[in-house]
Structure 1
Amino acid sequence: MLKWIAPLLFALPAQAFQFEALEGGLIDLDDLRGRAVLVVNTASLCGFTDQYAGLQRLHEEYGPRGLTVIGVPSNTFRQELGSEEDVAEFCEVNYGLTLPLTTITPLRGPDAHPFYRWLAEQGAVPRWNFNKALLDTEGDLVAFEGAATRPDAPRLLRAIEAVLPE
């Protein structure tokens, strides 16, 4: 079930966050202002890993229309490969990913990335891999879906369509 979250509840928009990019440099959510953003915590050795293919399709289909899909590899649930190099190779060889990926990032606990601490404050806590946080063009969280919601799920596609820039 899609959880809609009222943007007025947030003190800090998501644009204030940066991730280290797997290929080097930063993925700065502030630079994505004006675009819808789908942030997905991922893992290479998870039963849901085949969702990478759907995320790539979203990237290709909706990217030109104003959606950025960001994969956030994490070992929080102990299902990620041992190094960023292994993750990059796995994603390229098995899925041909061209969507932006971050370095391996903690999601929960004292070392959690600030973005995931912010999500937790909003009541959107990843309970497994491949949770999807949809941000509107202003960086407000508008939907949070669990791992069982596939990237091509009609309700997720409707939520994406609703926040694409005009």
Structure 2
Amino acid sequence: MNPLKIFAQTLFLKKNISTDSIQSLYDIKLNGLNGKPIVFSEFKGKHILFVNVASKCGFTPQYKDLQSLHDEYKDKLVIIGVPCNQFGKQEPGNANDIESFCEINYGVTFLISQKIDVKGTNAHPLYKWLTQKNKNGIVNSSVKWNFQKYLVNTKGVLIDYYFSTTKPNSNKITKHLK
């Protein structure tokens, strides 16, 4: 049996909540900007921070803090930037545009995924997992804007989510990495 399901069953036993639809993050497929798969199971034992990113947003300077967080915690944390154009059409570029922007302006070396939808009927399965309690076993949420963050623990269990105003190096996030 999947460890996430065992954890969720233990957590929700007293609340009589069904865990049948809970799935493992490690079963979800997502490609990088280069078109190659990002295999989440390769990150077992590390935290993963998912951030929906955009190059023309007021929060775009957070790329700098994300890179700093990546540099400081690279042995404990994988950061995956997830480009999305659903908020104010602030990520209009293609894969090459996004990659160039991130490298030239912020020296980004952490993973960047393909551009996806993070909300609505066409939301990517990753964001359905991140935002739906019946899939992640922890909490329902909705993505409010660019640079919202989701932190997953070393066993693939969602820890929490943080709105755009929470800086990447905030103690709310880093306390889980120390």
Please tell me whether the aligned partners of residues 143 and 159 of structure 1 are also in contact (alpha carbons under 8 angstroms): no
Please tell me whether the aligned partners of residues 72 and 102 of structure 1 are also in contact (alpha carbons under 8 angstroms): yes
**Higher relative contact order, structure no. (Cα contacts within 8 Å, ≥ 6 residues apart):** 1
Could you tell me which residue of structure 1 aligns to residue 57 of structure 2? 46
Percent sequence identity is 36
Report deviation, 1:87. 0.6
Could you tell me which residue of structure 1 aligns to residue 166 of structure 2? 149
Could you tell me which residue of structure 2 aligns to residue 55 of structure 1? 66
Q: Find the aligned partners of 1:155 and 1:31 in 2 and give their Cα distance.
A: 25
Report deviation, 1:111. 1.4
What does 1:1-166 correspond to in 2, within 5 Å? Answer: 8=8, 11-64=22-75, 66-77=76-87, 78-122=89-133, 123-161=140-178
SS in 1 for 2:151: strand
**TM-superposition CA deviations, 1:130-163 (whole Å, max 9, x none):** 11110011110011101000011122111333xx
Q: Give the TM-score normalised by the residue count of structure 1.
A: 0.87
**TM-superposition CA deviations, 1:109-148 (whole Å, max 9, x none):** 1211101011221212211011111001111001110100
Q: Find the aligned partners of 1:108 and 1:37 in 2 and give their Cα distance.
A: 20
* Structure 2 unaligned residues grouped into runs of 5+: 1-6, 13-18, 134-139
SS in 1 for 2:74: helix
Please tell me whether the aligned partners of residues 17 and 30 of structure 1 are also in contact (alpha carbons under 8 angstroms): no
SS in 2 for 1:160: coil
Q: Find the aligned partners of 1:30 and 1:108 in 2 and give their Cα distance.
A: 24
Q: Find the aligned partners of 2:177 and 2:117 in 1 and give their Cα distance.
A: 26
Report deviation, 1:23. 2.5
What letter corresponds to residue 82 of structure 1 in structure 2? G
Task: Give 4+ residue runs of structure 1 displaced > 4 Å after superposition.
Answer: none
Aligned length: 154
Q: Find the aligned partners of 1:127 and 1:27 in 2 and give their Cα distance.
A: 25
